[in-house]
Amino acid sequence: MGSEGYFLNQFLAPRTNCREDRWGGSLENRMRLPVEVVARVRAALGPEKLLIYRISLLDLVTEGQEWSEIVALAHAVTEAGADVLNTGIGWHEARVPTIVTSVPRAAFAHLTAKLRPEVSVPVIASNRINTPQVAETILAQGQADMVSMARPFLADPNFVATAARGEAARIAPCIACNQACLDHTFSGKLSSCLVNPRACHETELVLAPASAPRRIAVVGAGPAGLSSALALAERGHAVTLFDKADRIGGQLHYAAAIPGKEEFRGLIDWFEAEIGARTVDLRLGHAPEPDELTGFDEVIVATGVRPRDPGIPGQEGPNVISYADLLSGRAQAGPRVAVVGAGGIGFDVAEYLVTGHSTTIDPPAWRTEWGVSDPSVARGGLAPEGPRPDPAIRRVTLLQRKAEKLGKRLGKTTGWVHRAGLQMRAVEMLGGVSYERIDAQGLHVTTPDGPRLIEADTIVLCAGQESERGLADALLSRGVAAHVIGGAEVAAELDAKRAIDRGTRLAATL
Ligand SMILES: Cc1cc2nc3c(=O)[nH]c(=O)nc-3n(C[C@H](O)[C@H](O)[C@H](O)COP(=O)(O)O)c2cc1C
Ligand code: SF4
């Protein structure tokens, strides 16, 4: 493990190696430790066993390595006994994202391709390779001899077998959210996967065939309802899945509309493929009445959420819209926007409002945006001119009532990327505000510094949500004990991880 700013990498970079003895200074001295380690490991392994060295091709920190040093190291470690070179990208200290969902797929394969002709051993491309098609393209273009995947195997342990059967659409995709894998790791919790809650819980969360198959209604085809319907069908139950919308996915569609969250589209597509492949009776465009549900053996209510009413005087005005109106395209925003509420949705909405073109689907533009250069040009691969994002297409102010740093509760390994993205586009962030009123001029607030008018053409409400419990309550009043899951059960934040976990766990018990 010679990358990511770990021990071996620290000896290689002038940034951290300040030694003046034979372990520091010249390139030969800085390389000595990794080369010695490889030689000793090879000696301990004997000649037959495979030794892969993960080499940092892009440190993404100041005073990192430059390309000629990386190539010299590649030669030295292969001569010392490494059989294969894997690609490492970015130190943990780097302030450029390297694996989150807004990083383009296969964003760094061009560097593996750059190393390949320099060495005689196979090279492996890594990071954000999450579908067989992406992997195949890298191999077909000759960018690498092999590809590495980490998180995709958490999302779907059958990835390889399903790809080999030619059924790529049925592979549960890693959406690179980090919510249940790395965020857990760095919080001291067991890693798992948002898309596949069975990951690392395989022996405890078991979807065994049902002893007595039953007729089960699931109302709501968002992540909670979809995951319970799939797990119930897998167990052999007869499942009827209802949704009042004419498509499945629920609020996942809002996520997929955010620039940088395109991967959510793949998750919806996968749910569609799975529902189509299983025996689920899907009834779209239909919100069942309680009486229609009394004939089922079990009823699962996954009706999701509705926006919370923040009760701001003037919010009925024509300049006020909800995040759902905005992200579904039902309403447009003007050039100056105030966003009320800075939870996960508020941050996403701000990103949507300031971004003209998603760089996640345009790797060269993404590199310019984050200041990623070539390590042949600049040490560490950091562009001397720094990040150069496209200018914001709107002037946005993001507000919250809590008197804490905005975005504090975002994901542990992803929150900083969202905050940096908005800061780069000059989004003003204001905490500790009280919302006084809305009029034609904009949003009047009281800040810790006193009263202030946020001049805005449009005010977008992202002030949280409440459980949509109408059906659940109506069923209860008829004596039908429904199981309530997802946002209909807990609406604190939109949380696909909790919804999918809850839906799958409930299905395992019925
Ligand atoms: C839970 C988890 C733990 C990881 N731990 C390590 C590690 O100890 N050393 C390492 O080199 N990479 C580690 N990685 C990073 C992966 O090796 C890989 O570089 C990264 O996840 C990007 O590839 P992917 O998009 O295929 O997941 C870890 C990744 C995850 C998800
Ligand atoms: S939690 Fe998210 S990033 Fe991690 S493996 Fe699952 S889908 Fe991928």
Whether 191 is in the pocket of ligand 1, judged by its Cβ within 6 Å, is: yes
Q: Which of 184, 194, 267 to mutate to test the pocket of ligand 2 (most atoms within 8 A of CB)?
A: 194
Q: Point out the residues that are catalytic.
A: 6
187 vs 125: CA distance, rounded Å: 28
Tell which atom from ligand 1 comes closest to the C-alpha of 154: 31
pLDDT of residue 495: 86
pLDDT of residue 492: 74
CA-nearest residue for atom 10, ligand 1, is 1
Whether 52 is in the pocket of ligand 1, judged by its Cβ within 6 Å, is: no
Whether 400 is in the pocket of ligand 1, judged by its Cβ within 6 Å, is: no
What pLDDT, in 10s, does the model give residues 452-485? 999 999 999 999 999 999 999 999 999 988 999 9
CB contact at 8 A, 205 and 466: no
Query: Quick check: helix, strand or coil at residue 112?
Result: helix
How many C-beta neighbours within 10 Å does residue 133 have?
Answer: 12
Interval between CA 460 and ligand 2 midpoint (Å): 29
In the chain, % helix, strand, coil (3-state, to 5) comes to: 35, 15, 50
Classify each residue of 293-307 as buried b or exposed e, where b means 16 or more C-beta atoms within 10 Å of its C-beta: beebebbbbbbbbbb
Interval between CA 150 and ligand 1 midpoint (Å): 6
**Mean predicted lDDT score pLDDT of the chain:** 97
427 vs 341: CA distance, rounded Å: 14
What pLDDT, in 10s, does the model give residues 53-66? 999 999 999 999 99
Nearest ligand, measured from the Cα of 3: 1
Q: Strand 238-243 vs strand 280-284: parallel, antiparallel, or unpaired? A: parallel
In the predicted structure, residue 298 carries a pLDDT above the cut 80: yes
What pLDDT, in 10s, does the model give residues 110-138? 999 999 999 999 999 999 999 999 999 99
- Shortest CA distance to 54 belongs to which of 38, 31, 30, 33? 38
| Widest distance between CA atoms in the chain | 82
pLDDT of residue 7: 97
Please give the radius of gyration of the chain, using alpha carbons only, rounded to the nearest integer: 26
CB contact at 8 A, 315 and 438: yes
pLDDT of residue 481: 83
Nearest ligand, measured from the Cα of 190: 1
- In whole angstroms, how far apart are CA 178 and each of 128, 186, 195, 447? 12, 10, 11, 34
Tell which atom from ligand 2 comes closest to the C-alpha of 150: 5
For tokens 């010299």, name the residue. Answer: 72
Whether 505 is in the pocket of ligand 1, judged by its Cβ within 6 Å, is: no
Tell which atom from ligand 1 comes closest to the C-alpha of 184: 1
Q: What is the DSSP letter of 213?
A: -
Interval between CA 436 and ligand 1 midpoint (Å): 47
CA-nearest residue for atom 2, ligand 2, is 177
- Give 246's contacts (C-beta < 8 A, 6+ positions apart): 284, 285
Q: Which of 100, 128, 131, 151 to mutate to test the pocket of ligand 2 (most atoms within 8 A of CB)?
A: 151
Q: Work out the average pLDDT over 182-207.
A: 97
CB contact at 8 A, 130 and 150: no
Tell which atom from ligand 1 comes closest to the C-alpha of 148: 26
509 vs 371: CA distance, rounded Å: 50
4 vs 486: CA distance, rounded Å: 37
437 vs 342: CA distance, rounded Å: 18
Q: Which of 101, 171, 195 to mutate to test the pocket of ligand 2 (most atoms within 8 A of CB)?
A: 195
In the predicted structure, residue 304 carries a pLDDT above the cut 90: yes
For tokens 């300040």, name the residue. Answer: 18
Question: Could you tell me the pLDDT band of residue 171, with boundaries at 50, 70 and 90?
Answer: very high
CB contact at 8 A, 220 and 250: yes
Reported in sequence order, the residue ranges of 413-472 that DSSP labels E, i.e. its strands, are 428-430, 434-439, 442-447, 450-455, 458-461, 465-467
Name the percent of the chain lying above pLDDT 70. 100
Ligand 2-lining residues (CB < 6 angstroms)? 151, 154-155, 174-181, 193-195
Query: Quick check: helix, strand or coil at residue 77?
Result: helix
CA-nearest residue for atom 5, ligand 2, is 151
Nearest ligand, measured from the Cα of 175: 2
Instruction: Give burial (CB, 10 Å; 0-12/13-18/19+) of 374.
Output: middle
Q: What would the two tokens of residue 376 be?
A: 């042949």
Q: Which of 8, 131, 146, 151 to mutate to test the pocket of ligand 1 (most atoms within 8 A of CB)?
A: 151
Whether 178 is in the pocket of ligand 1, judged by its Cβ within 6 Å, is: no
CA-nearest residue for atom 9, ligand 1, is 1
181 vs 189: CA distance, rounded Å: 9
Whether 127 is in the pocket of ligand 1, judged by its Cβ within 6 Å, is: yes
- Shortest CA distance to 252 belongs to which of 302, 320, 310? 302
Name the percent of the chain lying above pLDDT 90. 98
Identify the weakest region by mean pLDDT among 89-93, 236-240, 299-303, 485-489: 485-489
User: Where do the domains of the chain lie, and which CATH numbers do they carry?
Assistant: 7-149 (3.20.20.70), 215-307+469-509 (3.40.50.720), 320-355+392-463 (3.50.50.60)
What pLDDT, in 10s, does the model give residues 249-258? 999 999 999 9
Neighbouring C-alpha atoms within 13 Å toward the C-beta of 297: 10
